[in-house]
Amino acid sequence: MPSVAFIGAGSVVFTRRLLADLLRFPELTDLDIRLHDIDPDRLAVAEGTARQVNGRLGTRAAIVATPDRLRALDGADFVVNMVQIGGIAATRLDLEIPARYGLLQTIGDTTGVGGVFRALRTFPFLTTLLDDMRRLCPDALFMNYTNPMAMNVWWASVVAPEIRTVGLCHSVHWTVHDLCELIGVPLEGTTYRAAGVNHQAWLLEWSRDGESLYPRLDAAIDADPGLLRRVRVEMYRRLGFYPTETSEHSSEYLSWFLRSPEQVARYRIDPLQYIRISEENVAEFEHAERALALGQPLELEEGAVEYAPQIIHSVVTGTPREIHGDVVNRGWIDDHPDGAVVEVPCRVDADGIHPVAMGALPAQCAAVNRPYLSVAALTVEAVRTGDPRLVRQAVLLDPNASSSLTPEAIWAMCDELTAAHGDRIPKPLR
């Protein structure tokens, strides 16, 4: 019976989705599910959710909920990480402190100052988690959902290169899903491949029956002037390839959009919106908690769209499929540095994850990715060496930050964020 450890299972809505996708596979109905969280209330809701999903689907999964991470990891075949260090309180700091300096973000979890400080909080946790895996389940496949994705997978490759690690994000799937809906073409039967970096990959192939679907997108944009006020449409028009993350995310990765009130209004951007999203996530948790207490059914989404269940199914059954994953670059993208983390198509089978070599990206797309990779590289190096100057230099190289703030202001902002996050920041960097 394959065993799956969910670390940070208190992310109950996401845990519910993953469990439902997993247990809907007929070959996975008797999984050994281990749920771990350090918050007892969230762990209790995660357990209640798992037991309800198991019962409603008529499956036979063995479910254990434990605050003991070592018990959850012991002998696990698959480890899924969903931990967010600091929770909503840390998210507020990451967004509100820079905003006081005049630096706007929307989500703040991938790159830029928000991504950097989220990474600084997460790397120490990843180090201990991967050390536990090295002792208790060294052959397990580690699947990371926690942002900042590229930085976290990169850090894992530094501290535990022997652990099989892949980063998973649903942005490519949902980008293509939404584009197909926009042009009135079914997703099923569509061929697509993207490559680049997480949240900033590029839809290089998008076709149906041998016909590129990009001309249909061009026609849809020409027919609807309102689309010209979307960040991603503007990026596509200027760069020639559609980016694979939402306009909300994409707006804060470049110098083009958040630098002035006029641009914010033109592209209908909602700064600091992740605070509201985080509050909604808390409300969803509280709703699930009440529903379970009253014996009410939770909403179960249909369809396996998350990659972790698909990977587990492929490894267990040998069923081949292709996903998009975040992996250490070993020649998968020619014009991105080896050792950096890239997002590419990956074939999956009984032997695990097999990245697909994509050659060189279009020159303009690679050029847009380079500052993102530089921010990630300096953040990893800052924690590896304990040099706090590298933290500030990472933020200085972020296009959004450097378009909005002077170097002096960036240094002061990083000082304030470091003090605000306190002992969640690695000691040498405080």
Q: Which of 36, 170, 199, 354 is catalytic?
A: 170
Q: What is the pLDDT of residue 300?
A: 87
The three state secondary structure string of the chain is: CCEEEEECCCCHHHHHHHHHHHHCCHHHCCCEEEEECCCHHHHHHHHHHHHHHHHHHCCCCEEEEECCHHHHHCCCCEEEECCCCCHHHHHHHHHHHHHHHCCCCCCCCCCHHHHHHHHHHHHHHHHHHHHHHHHHCCCCEEEECCCCHHHHHHHHHHHCCCCEEEECCCHHHHHHHHHHHHHCCCCCCEEEEEEEECCEEEEEEEEECCEECHHHHHHHHHHCHHHHHCHHHHHHHHHCCCECCCHHHHHCCCCCCCCCHHHHHHCCCCCCHHHHHHHHHHHHHHHHHHHHHCCCCCCCCCCCCCHHHHHHHHHHHCCCEEEEEEEECCCCCCCCCCCCEEEEEEEEECCEEEECCCCCCCHHHHHHHHHHHHHHHHHHHHHHHCCHHHHHHHHHCCHHHHHHCCHHHHHHHHHHHHHHHHHHCCHHHC
| Per-position pLDDT tens, the chain of length 430 | 899 999 999 987 889 999 999 999 999 999 999 999 999 999 999 999 999 999 999 999 999 999 999 999 999 999 999 999 999 999 999 999 999 999 999 999 999 999 999 999 999 999 999 999 999 999 999 999 999 999 999 999 999 999 999 999 999 999 999 999 999 999 999 999 999 999 999 999 999 999 999 999 999 999 999 999 999 999 999 999 999 999 999 999 999 999 999 999 999 999 999 999 999 999 999 999 999 999 999 988 776 689 999 999 999 999 999 999 999 999 999 999 999 999 999 999 999 999 999 999 999 999 999 999 999 999 999 999 999 999 999 999 999 999 999 999 999 999 999 999 999 999 999 9
Q: What is the pLDDT of residue 131?
A: 98
pTM for this model (two decimals): 0.97
Residue ranges of domains in the chain, CATH in brackets: 85-111+167-271+315-430 (3.90.1820.10)
pLDDT single digits (tens) 334-367: 999 999 999 999 999 999 999 999 999 999 999 9
Please indicate whether residue 170 is annotated as part of the active site: yes
